[in-house]
């Protein structure tokens, strides 16, 4: 039988296909996704192909060496990709090993398959076993069974590529528009006028800005007439998208609307403490041990590949995220949060893994952070350096934020002390009730003074070299050896300016003023 994918391997999308799909959308008055349209296109092509094959292979049999044939019969040859031919002569065979059999001469419809001086010959009426004798035909008059042409099997084979190519082609059609991953003819859009939009704003305002589904908004504003709900949703989505008062904040596959003016400022623009100005550095100075330390720290700005197939990730808090109430989207945590194809901000529910309290969160994927954890950090008195765990939940729209808690213990912590324009560190006792990285933990009592010093460092454009030299000098007095671990420096640098590990490590390696004493410990050179 002709395999079901025989024609699908070279499937192309024509202008007629787009016209067919556009007409179908107009007829159904229902927006459809690219995948749904691709399946419909395959089904339509299957019907066309079935009709074409029925016509092409009418009264044609598959060549089988065990069968006999007469002059004038038409055959198809599986060994030649089902090319067709006509029997032009039949003669007795002459080979004692095969007993009585015939030889048929055929001329192919494709002239490239015909020898120049005589018909191509094949055995017929063989009684000895032959691999082609196992071929089964669907009766004498038909070469193929249309039931073998499966839309599901074809989509499994060519679907992803077809969906991509179809989406690209549909996007070039002036007659179609896409909203929320669905297509619809532009001319059939329902009117969502300024009155509808004002009502939508009022509805969202009453719900604290959102988020609300389009269906919920339509229900409260009375809909857009008597058209099918799917068309009303599509039309309102299209109108809301073009109005700056509204922001689409749903994850992939879900449309949710929020009032732009009621969104936190921290998700509309990157908070100053999280803003990173790239630092030129010679990354060739990074040793394999330094690269391993960079991966261990897991800063979201480090070029680390995202982890796959995980249900849990971990991150160690640094000052900017602790101060702003954000969580970094690094290689470990990023895969656990919802994604979106177009919207820059995604609304998400953050669940406190300790007591189940829920917080409204925002995933800002482009800038690699999640906002909405300030209350969580304050409630549990989590220090800089606390180790935060992120877990999937059964609900895709919710993510669990947790930490390893224990009965608060009094421990010595490096406390940030600001004196004038200097940042100093002192060991002070603090009660800590969470697991933390002892190399990165920091404390700060006077946050306003720390913020002021960080702002001053930015305004003065202090170099990373200058900051590191001051920090090593200030931190070295806390240990008998007078050395500072690179992770401690990384944590402290980020109090004054946002910086991933690589520039810090490269700067340490590039200047003779800094001496490595082994094990990622550094000190100021004194000789």
What Cα–Cα distance (Å) separates residue 454 from each residue in 48, 273, 450, 462, 467?
A: 69, 9, 6, 10, 11
Q: At 132, is the pLDDT very low, low, confident or very high (cuts 50, 70, 90)?
A: low
Listing DSSP states for 191-240 in one string gives: P--HHHHHHHHHHHHHTTT--EEHHHHHHHHT-SSSS-HHHHHHHHHHHH
Q: At 127, is the pLDDT very low, low, confident or very high (cuts 50, 70, 90)?
A: confident
**What mean pLDDT do residues 142-159 have?**
63
Q: At 385, is the pLDDT very low, low, confident or very high (cuts 50, 70, 90)?
A: very high
Q: At 143, is the pLDDT very low, low, confident or very high (cuts 50, 70, 90)?
A: low
**What mean pLDDT do residues 119-136 have?**
74
Per-residue confidence (pLDDT) for residue 346, from 0 to 100: 93
Per-residue confidence (pLDDT) for residue 140, from 0 to 100: 39
The residue ranking higher by pLDDT, 511 or 57, is 511
Residues 483-493 have pLDDT tens digits of 999 999 999 99
Residue 138: pLDDT over 50: no
Residue 50: pLDDT over 90: no
**What mean pLDDT do residues 118-124 have?**
90
Q: At 137, is the pLDDT very low, low, confident or very high (cuts 50, 70, 90)?
A: very low
Per-residue confidence (pLDDT) for residue 4, from 0 to 100: 46
Q: Is the peptide bond before 211 cis (omega within 30 degrees of 0)?
A: yes
Backbone angles phi, psi at 270, to 5 degrees: -65, 125
**What mean pLDDT do residues 167-172 have?**
85
Query: Could you give the CA distance from residue 405 to residue 422 in angstroms, rounded to a whole number?
Result: 34
Per-residue confidence (pLDDT) for residue 139, from 0 to 100: 40
Residues 319-334 have pLDDT tens digits of 999 999 999 999 999 9
**What mean pLDDT do residues 194-201 have?**
94
Residue 509: pLDDT over 80: yes
Residues 431-450 have pLDDT tens digits of 999 999 999 999 888 888 88
Per-residue confidence (pLDDT) for residue 134, from 0 to 100: 52
Cα within 13 Å of Cα(242), Cβ side = 11
Per-residue confidence (pLDDT) for residue 142, from 0 to 100: 47
Overall pTM surpassing 0.85 (yes/no): no
Query: Could you give the CA distance from residue 87 to residue 120 in angstroms, rounded to a whole number?
Result: 10
Is residue 297 within 8 A of residue 486, CB to CB? The reply is no
Residues 283-323 have pLDDT tens digits of 899 999 999 999 999 999 999 998 888 899 999 999 999 99
Residue 227: pLDDT over 70: yes
Per-residue confidence (pLDDT) for residue 141, from 0 to 100: 39
Backbone angles phi, psi at 447, to 5 degrees: -65, -35
Per-residue confidence (pLDDT) for residue 13, from 0 to 100: 80
Per-residue confidence (pLDDT) for residue 460, from 0 to 100: 75
Is residue 373 within 8 A of residue 423, CB to CB? The reply is no
Could you tell me the domains of the chain? 8-57+148-176 (no CATH), 69-139 (2.30.30), 189-263 (1.10.10), 298-406 (2.40.330.10), 410-524 (no CATH)
Provide the residue count of the chain. Answer: 527
pLDDT over 90 percentage in the chain: 48
Per-residue confidence (pLDDT) for residue 36, from 0 to 100: 87
């Amino acid at each position: 039988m002709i395999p079901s994918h025989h024609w699908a391997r070279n499937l192309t999308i024509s202008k007629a296909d787009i016209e067919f799909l556009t007409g179908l959308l107009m007829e159904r008055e229902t927006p459809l996704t690219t995948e749904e349209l691709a399946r419909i296109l395959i089904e339509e092509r299957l019907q066309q192909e079935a009709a074409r094959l029925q016509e092409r292979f009418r009264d044609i049999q598959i060549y089988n060496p065990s069968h006999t044939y007469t002059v004038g019969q038409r055959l198809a040859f599986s060994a030649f990709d089902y090319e067709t031919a006509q029997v032009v002569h039949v003669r007795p065979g002459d080979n004692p090993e095969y007993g009585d059999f015939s030889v048929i001469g055929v001329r192919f419809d494709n002239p490239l398959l015909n020898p120049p001086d005589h018909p191509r010959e094949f055995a017929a009426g063989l009684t000895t076993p032959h691999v082609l004798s196992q071929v089964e035909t669907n009766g004498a008059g038909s070469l193929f069974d249309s039931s073998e042409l499966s839309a599901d099997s074809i989509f499994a084979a060519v679907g992803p590529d077809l969906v991509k190519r179809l989406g690209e082609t549909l996007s070039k059609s002036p007659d179609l528009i896409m909203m929320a991953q669905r297509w619809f003819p532009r001319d059939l859009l329902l009117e969502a006028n300024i009155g509808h939009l004002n009502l939508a704003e009022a509805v969202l305002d009453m719900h604290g800005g959102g988020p609300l589904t389009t269906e919920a908004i339509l229900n409260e504003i009375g809909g857009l007439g008597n058209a099918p709900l799917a068309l009303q949703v599509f039309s309102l989505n299209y109108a809301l998208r073009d109005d700056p008062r509204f922001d689409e904040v749903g994850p992939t596959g879900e449309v949710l609307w929020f009032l732009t003016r009621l969104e936190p400022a921290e998700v509309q623009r990157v908070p100053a403490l999280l803003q990173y100005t790239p630092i030129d550095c010679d990354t060739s100075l990074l040793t394999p041990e330094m690269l391993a330390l960079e991966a261990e720290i897991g800063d979201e700005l480090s070029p680390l590949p995202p982890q796959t197939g995980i249900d849990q990730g971990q991150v160690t808090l640094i000052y900017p995220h602790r101060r702003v109430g954000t969580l970094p989207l690094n290689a470990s945590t990023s895969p656990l949060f919802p994604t979106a194809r177009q919207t820059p901000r995604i609304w998400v529910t953050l669940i406190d893994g300790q007591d189940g309290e829920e917080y409204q969160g925002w995933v800002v994927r482009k800038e690699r952070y999640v906002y909405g954890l300030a209350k969580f950090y304050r409630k549990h008195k989590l220090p800089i350096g606390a180790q935060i765990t992120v877990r999937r939940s059964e609900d895709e729209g919710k993510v669990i934020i947790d930490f390893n808690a224990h009965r608060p213990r009094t421990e010595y912590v490096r406390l940030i002390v600001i004196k004038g324009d200097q940042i100093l560190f002192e060991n002070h006792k603090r009660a800590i009730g969470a697991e933390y990285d002892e190399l990165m933990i920091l404390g700060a009592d006077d946050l306003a003074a720390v913020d002021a010093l960080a702002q001053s460092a930015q305004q003065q454009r202090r170099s990373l070299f200058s900051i590191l030299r001051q920090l090593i000098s200030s931190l070295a007095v806390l240990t008998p050896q007078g050395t500072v671990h690179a992770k401690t420096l990384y944590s402290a640098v980020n109090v004054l300016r946002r910086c991933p590990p690589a520039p810090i490590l490269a700067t340490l390696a590039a200047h003779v003023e800094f001496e490595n004493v082994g094990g990622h410990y550094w000190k100021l050179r004194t000789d």
